[in-house]
Amino acid sequence: MSLAHDARIAVRPAAGAQRPARTWPEVNNPAAWVVAAVLLIMPLIANGFFLIEIFATTLILGTMALSLMFLAGYGGTVSLMQLTIAGFSAYMVAVFGVSGNANISLGWPWWLAVPMALALATAFGTLGGALAVRTEGIYTIMITLAIGAAFYYFTNQNWAIFNGHTGINNVATPHFWGVNWRADIPFYYVVLATAALCYFAVEYLSRAPFGLALQGVRDNPRRMAALGFNVNAHRVAAYAFASFVAALAGVLQVWNYRQISPGSVSVGACIDVLIIAVVGGITRPIGPFIGALIFVLLRTFALDFLVRLGLDGNRFRLLIGLGFLAIVFWSSDGVIGLWQRWRQHQRRDVSRSGGGHRHG
């Protein structure tokens, strides 16, 4: 019981930040419009390297972390297997579609292979979720971590489907209507569209009856059960939705790198997704994307940065780990929480100085 209690404390800011009216929240927010416009015209600003290596990668990782955020923020269950689901979907695209390993790939066209991969990965994630909901809180973390690690070792050992530790290379990317969809600019828009779709789907679901019931389950499962809600069914449904989102990100990832190997589904990578979500903040869907941007920027530039400071460039993971520790120590709500606290602080200062004037 104490576990559920703890999860509630950890995510209470979400309930506090709940908007009063159920409208599209970003409509009146000029900053959101600016960000959307910048994202849309990004190919004009950024060249190929930044467009794909930074922004497309950020959006893909952000979508994976978004699926974790949905489970953790609204469902109260922290799942470490979201990357595993994405990796499974990526493997399925490579296995059913066309790749350099002709003895393994079945050579289906992408419009058959992708739905198949999405369906299988969603089923995989839902099954894993059905196992995980039998437990609560930190037990869930352990079980999903164990599932992720088991999948990693399995892909390393299995040669018939997953091609062992070399993985599957030269995965074909879609090519139709005369457009090569893996070329930088079209691919960026595909990724952007998918990420936006997932983002708004999560936004919508969080205010739909299902999402509200899910948040009720997060806050007090006993009470929801007494009210006649099927607690476990809600949780499994949340896993199913999150798995679908993660599977979409997995398809994009395999198209991005054109290969998939056990290294991409390692335990460290699973934990990276958690780090991204937590650093960004798990109470709002925008958090994972902010976290992913920070993570990708650090991963890409930490080496140069550390070398310039006269330190060993290989200590990138140390930097990530320390940053993660700092965030967990000082803000339970990631970067968003820090930002909100700073804003409130500012506002209080302003109102206090204003009040002082009136009295003076």
Partner 1 sequence: MSRFVERHPAWALITIIAIAVVLWLIFAVWPPGLEEAIGRKRVFLNAVFNGITLGGLYFLVASGFTLIFGLMRNVNLAHGSLYLFGGYVGYAISTSTGSWLLSFIVAFILTALVGVLLQVIVFRRMEGQDLRQTMVTIGLSIVFADLMLWACGGDFYQIQTPSWLIGPVDLPLITAVKSSGEPVYLRYPLVRLVIFAASVVIGVAMWLALNRTRVGMIIRAGVDDRDILAATGVRIQLVFVLVFAFGAGLAGIAGVVGGTFQSLSPGEDIRFLLASLVVVIVGGMGSIPGAALGALIIGLAEQLGSVYIPTYAIVVTFLIMVLVLAIRPQGLLARR
Can you give the binding site for partner 1, defined by CB under 8 A? 2-3, 6-7, 9-10, 78, 131, 134-135, 137-139, 141-143, 145-147, 149-150, 153-154, 157-160, 267-268, 271, 274-275, 278, 312, 314-315, 317-318, 320-322, 324-325, 328-329, 332
Answer whether 54's CB lies under 8 Å from 296's CB.
yes
Phi, psi of 91 (to 5 degrees): -60, -40
In the complex with partner 1, the residue whose CB is nearer, 166 or 180, is 166
Cβ atoms within 10 Å, residue 32: 14
In the complex with partner 1, the residue whose CB is nearer, 154 or 200, is 154
Phi, psi of 80 (to 5 degrees): -95, 5
Q: Scanning the structure block, which residue is given the tokens 């039998």?
A: 134
In the complex with partner 1, the residue whose CB is nearer, 112 or 297, is 297
Strand partners, 260: 168
Give the helix ranges, DSSP H, for the chain: 2-16, 30-40, 42-45, 48, 57-69, 82-96, 110-132, 138-157, 184-207, 209-219, 221-226, 231-257, 267-280, 286-308, 316-330, 334-359
Q: How far apart are CA 65 and CA 288, in angstroms?
A: 5
Q: How far apart are CA 60 and CA 273, in angstroms?
A: 11
Q: How far apart are CA 124 and CA 36, in angstroms?
A: 33
Q: How far is the CB of 264 from partner 1 (least distance, A)?
A: 16
Cβ atoms within 10 Å, residue 140: 27
Task: Give one DSSP letter per residue of 111-174, joined into a string.
Answer: HHHHHHHHHHHHHHHHHHHHHHTTS-THHHHHHHHHHHHHHHHHHHH--SSS-GGG-B-S----
Cβ atoms within 10 Å, residue 340: 18
Half-sphere exposure of 351 (CA within 13 A, CB side): 6
Count of residues in the chain: 360
Q: How far is the CB of 232 from partner 1 (least distance, A)?
A: 12
Q: How far is the CB of 89 from partner 1 (least distance, A)?
A: 19
Q: How far is the CB of 114 from partner 1 (least distance, A)?
A: 27
Q: How far is the CB of 316 from partner 1 (least distance, A)?
A: 8
In the complex with partner 1, the residue whose CB is nearer, 146 or 196, is 146
In the complex with partner 1, the residue whose CB is nearer, 135 or 220, is 135
In the complex with partner 1, the residue whose CB is nearer, 174 or 221, is 221
In the complex with partner 1, the residue whose CB is nearer, 205 or 278, is 278
In the complex with partner 1, the residue whose CB is nearer, 60 or 133, is 133
In the complex with partner 1, the residue whose CB is nearer, 101 or 232, is 232
Q: How far is the CB of 131 from partner 1 (least distance, A)?
A: 6
In the complex with partner 1, the residue whose CB is nearer, 105 or 331, is 331
Q: Among 112, 110, 86, which Cα is nearest to 98's?
A: 110
Q: How far apart are CA 244 and CA 196, in angstroms?
A: 14
Q: How far is the CB of 77 from partner 1 (least distance, A)?
A: 10
Q: How far is the CB of 185 from partner 1 (least distance, A)?
A: 35
Q: How far is the CB of 206 from partner 1 (least distance, A)?
A: 20
Q: How far is the CB of 158 from partner 1 (least distance, A)?
A: 6
